[in-house]
Amino acid sequence: MASEGRVFADTCRLNGVSGWDLLCVPGGLNALDVALDNAFIVEIRRLGGGVCYVTSVCTGSLILGAAGLLRGKRAACHWAWRYLLPLFGAIPDERRVVKDGCVFTGEDVTAGIDFALTVLAEIAGEKVAQTLQLGLEYAPAPPFSAGRPENAPSEILVNYRDQIASLLAQRETQACEAAARLSSIC
């Protein structure tokens, strides 16, 4: 399948996957749209129940939550949506990468590399993860200290919150609906 110059080969539908060792669910602004896709959530629940590692980045943790895979687990999520995790029985954690048993969650897009290195260290050992980190020359040094709400200048935080304000109510409604669906099957 080709899309905008990218090619995805050897793909299959989730219901065609019999199992794997690691499930990784990415996030994005449409994560709660996906969390309301019953067929998708059923497959994530099925696959997540049989893997060694259940993982997500950013708002992917909300999808894992909607699938019932975060009950009683500490989990990371993008700060603007983290407050929705308890709807799914998860315990919000502000760390960039959270490991709770076999569940690994990364806070946001930039934490994705930290998350990947943490999971790699778990699977292949710290030396392998450190070698990859060196190969990537991953030594973050952000130009500003505005990457977290508690560090961002108040004007920047207010501006960002204003930008996402219209999404907040919609996403909260979607999360409540997904949580209600989860409660009805458990």
* Structure confidence by residue, pLDDT tens digits, 107-155: 988 899 999 999 999 999 999 999 999 999 999 988 998 989 999 999 9
CATH 3.90.1150.10 matches 21-185: no
Hey, which residues does 55 pair with through a beta bridge?
24, 104
Contacts for 92 with CB less than 8 Å, ≥ 6 apart? 74, 75, 77, 82, 83, 85, 86
Hey, which residues does 99 pair with through a beta bridge?
104
- Cβ-contact 77, 87 below 8 angstroms: no
- Cβ-contact 77, 107 below 8 angstroms: yes
**pTM across the whole model:** 0.89
| Residues 147-180: b if buried by 16+ CB within 10 A, e if exposed | eeeeebeeeeeeeeeeeeeeeeeebeebbeebbe
Model pLDDT for residues 51-103, shown as the tens digit of each residue:
899 999 999 999 999 999 999 999 999 999 999 999 999 999 999 999 999 99
| SS3 category, 75 | strand
- Could you give the residue numbers annotated as active site? 58
Please state, in angstroms and rounded to a whole number, the distance separating the CA atoms of residues 112 and 106. 6
